[in-house]
Amino acid sequence: MDTKYWNIDRLGRLYKDWDPEVLKKLETKIAKSHWRPGYHITTQTGLLNDPNGFSYFNNQWHLFYQAFPYGAVHGLKSWQHMVSDDLVHWKFIDKPMVPDLYSDRNGCYSGSAINVDGKLFLMYTGNTFEGEEMARHPYQLGAWMDADNNISKLDHPLIESEPTGVTGHFRDPQVIKHGDYYYAFLGAQTVDNAGEILTYRTKDIENGWELYKKLDLGTDNLGYMAECPNVGFIDGKVVVIFCPQGADKHEFHYDNVHPNAYIVADDLDFDEMKLINPSEMKQLDEGFDYYATQVLNAPDGRLLSVGWIGLPDTEYLSDQEGWEGELSMVRELHIENGDLTQRPVQECKQLIEEDEASDTDLQKHIEAAPFDEHFNLNLESEDSYLRLSYDESDQEWTLKRKNVGEDVSIRTFKGEASSIDFYLDNTVFEIYILGGTITMTGQFFHDGNEVRVNSENMSVKQNKISNM
């Protein structure tokens, strides 16, 4: 980040005070980019990060995302809005939720949405900094969206402040309905610098939210902050997905700056707010860039998810072009043999054309048939590559990435081998192994001309991918 340009004034400037020419210049610059994805959701300008408000409402799928449109930096956050009829092709709705209240004046931060009596209710964190010391003070806020996608914020906070014993890092409400109550799961940091997930509940979604209980996950290894908590129900089980920043790596191994984790349990005891027979905490994704996953128990019975293809506290090569971040394809989640599986929703099949792709295509779907005890799959351009390999002798996967002008990054992990589905969308990749038991997601910044594919010890079928 250019700290000389991105001073406190520009990072916190209200949207109404920006010169419209800034966006026009960014659009012109981004139009020349050779790194933009084709079928993944990305920002029009500036920054995209956490998915928010994933929901089904008014016969359409709705998905919001954190945004700062004026530059590829974490400035004043708003919610940008996308809708879809099929979970694959998304349309931008130019009716963002922007900071315009005292209680969200330093940003509309992450949250969720729920269908209530024919209207969509949004619950989100309003971020503020108060006093000479700029102390963080969070508000949990609410808004309604009507069938024309017009958003009206409530004139009062749902939760005025963090509870006793918790710092200003108190955010990211996921709201669900269970029995007579609405429940909100919130990420929190204690004054002792420990992460935890707190629950609030009410019978009237606009009023009366009260602290209920801490969610007992069966582990206290939640680092110094448990971000983006999400609870989903599928296959007679419950899964909790969250981001335990600073979790102890001796107990839970991860290589990214912050992990995205999950725990599977037999059930959730709402009276005690305790997971029943929870699993150990596991990595949600083994790739380089995947964070802030949001889930939706959809009306059709599926458990769906979407994640940010990016990480906090990380800079990307596309920043220099004035944009950063994508959202993953929508995934369907299941519990199989106690593990979480993630697969692209069946609607994604329409992306794939059956005619064979050429080596110059930058949107590909690669299927790898069952392979021998060793194999390599290589995607290469002149000064960059992405290499996936497997060694049967120790059942170890290795993923290596060299972006243009950067050093090599490596991820290794244990797992069985099977067929592979590999989606490449210019600079975005999603890899699904063993039916989605293992996933690897990230960005791959190549030279922008062509990406060549070659492999060893396995047969590979390449398909074209139709752009959105």
Q: How far is C-alpha 451 from the geometric centre of its chain's CA atoms? A: 26
Integer Cα distance of 204 and 211 in angstroms: 14
Which tokens is 255 given? 């290589």
Which residue is it, tokens 């990060």? 49
Question: Could you confirm whether 285 is annotated as catalytic?
Answer: no
Question: Which phi and psi angles does 407 have, rounded to 5°?
Answer: -80, 170
Phi-psi category of residue 170: left, alpha or beta, with phi > 0 → left and psi -120 to 50 → alpha: beta
DSSP 329-368: PPEEEEEETTEEEEEE-GGGGGGEEEEEPPTT-SEEEEEE
Integer Cα distance of 188 and 247 in angstroms: 14
8 A C-beta contact, residue 465 and residue 423: yes
**Contacts of range 201-206, beta carbons closer than 8 Å, 24 or more positions apart:** 205/114, 205/116, 205/121, 205/142, 205/175, 206/142, 206/154, 206/158
CA nearest neighbour of 211 among 195, 226, 197, 229 = 197
Which tokens is 145 given? 């969206």
> Cβ of 359: how many Cβ atoms within 10 Å?
11
Catalytic residue selected from 9, 50, 192, 235 = 50
* Residues taking part in catalysis: 50
